Amino acid sequence: MGRVVLNQQVINGLGSWGPVDDDIRNRARRVQAMARGRGPIDTGDYVSSIDTEKLRPHGWRVVARDRKSEWIEFGTRPHPIPKPGAPRNKKALWWPGAAHPVHSVMHPGTAPTHNLAEALELAARGTTHI
């Protein structure tokens, strides 16, 4: 298999041409729309944080700015709730169906969604439906 090496200095020195930049912006917005349509919508914060931004000197990227973005994209390991050393409110957890309040529980972790990467792949293939 061959290897491709991009010389970013040369690319940056090429400048920008309006129609090409417009096309790249439109492609980024397609990826943004695809990612928003595929993302989890518990509160809507993650999905509404997915945006495009202009890179200087030229180019565009799709970003997710919600504080939970990394957890959603890459998943989490199992972890205690609440975190050790950080008791909250009444220092106990309870939920409907629990036998009794507990000091902490182990969250099993979450699976990664790779939402942005999958949106990019689908958009690159020309798949425009969600």
Q: pLDDT (tens digit, 9 = 90+) per residue, 14-38? A: 767 788 888 889 989 999 999 999 8
Q: Quick check: 101 pLDDT over 50?
A: yes
Given this model, what pLDDT does residue 2 score? 63
CA atoms within 13 A on the CB side of 89: 6
Q: Which residues pair with 52 in a beta bridge?
A: 62
Given this model, what pLDDT does residue 84 score? 60
- The Cα-based distances of 111 to 8, 10, 25, 102, 120 in angstroms read 34, 39, 31, 25, 19
Write out pLDDT tens, residues 41-93.
Answer: 888 899 999 999 998 877 889 999 999 999 999 999 998 887 665 556 666 77
Given this model, what pLDDT does residue 83 score? 60
Which residue carries 């994209």 as its tokens? 73
Report which listed range, 3-12, 35-44, 120-129, is most confident.
35-44
For residue 36, give the nearest of 44, 47, 26, 45 by alpha carbon. 47
Given this model, what pLDDT does residue 130 score? 47
Given this model, what pLDDT does residue 128 score? 54
Spatial neighbors of 17 by CB under 8 A, at least 6 apart, are: none
Q: Quick check: 127 pLDDT over 90?
A: no
Given this model, what pLDDT does residue 64 score? 94
Please state, in angstroms and rounded to a whole number, the distance separating the CA atoms of residues 3 and 80.
43
